[in-house]
Amino acid sequence: MKRLALLVLCLLGAATLRADDPATFPVGGLTFKRPADWAWVPVNSPMRKAQLKVPGAKPEESAEITFFHFGPQSGGDVQSNAERWVNQFHGAKDAAKIEAQEIGGAKVTLVSTEGSYTSGGMFGGPTITQDNYALLGAIIENPDGNVFVKMTGPAALVKDSRQKFLDFLATALPGK
């Protein structure tokens, strides 16, 4: 019963956050504008601040975008996080790229790679390996703490979504 009450409160809170503009949402002092064809996904971890799904040709071929924010001076440094993301992939080390850019007036570190993606394993749980996957991630430096945005999914879909992802990052404006 307590879990049901907590779920209802979370859903009400999420609905309230999106009441003014269902396409915008806040993460770590930034406000993002979600593309219309990217779907909301219920957050499945207390560490995640938001979660979206990029549709693929088939439902099982979609990509996932997750958002993390841990607060000022928390969550680790940019380089360590970028390397950790790259190390979740095996088989195509030469595909890994970590590059600093400016997007929408913010300093952003883009991380991309592909190969076999291993996820899970937190707190002794099972790991899952998915072949022919890719990562396109961004670490947005922000005075309120870095915002981590990570898209993982089938390699072709992630590569095809690159420009839309970059355009999406440019919508991230300081919150009000």
Extract the tokens encoding 166: 């970059």
- Return the SS3 of 47: coil
Higher pLDDT, 40 or 3: 40
User: Would you say the pTM of this structure is higher than 0.85?
Assistant: no
Please give the mean pLDDT across all residues of the chain. 85
| pLDDT tens readout for residues 79-110 | 999 999 999 999 876 899 999 999 988 999 99
Q: What CA–CA distance (Å, rounded) separates 3 from 158?
A: 35
* Cα–Cα distance for residue pair 123/65, rounded to 1 Å: 22
Delimit the domains of the chain by residue range: 22-174
Which CATH superfamily, name and number, covers 22-174? Answer: Mog1/PsbP, alpha/beta/alpha sandwich (3.40.1000.10)
**SS3 call for 85:** helix
Residues 144, 70: contact at Cβ < 8 Å?
no
Residue 15: pLDDT band with limits 50, 70, 90: very low
- Percent of the chain beyond pLDDT 90? 64
Tokens representing 141 are 């430096």
CA dihedral defined by 63, 109, 45, 62, rounded to 10 degrees? 0
What's 121-148 look like in SS3?
A: CHHHCCEEEEEEEEEEEEEECCCCCCEE
Whether the pLDDT of residue 7 is over 90: the answer is no
Characterize the bridge pairing of strands 48-54 and 24-27.
unpaired
pLDDT per position as a tens digit, 52-73 = 999 999 988 999 999 999 988 8
Q: pLDDT higher for 119 or 15?
A: 119
14 or 60: which carries more pLDDT confidence? 60
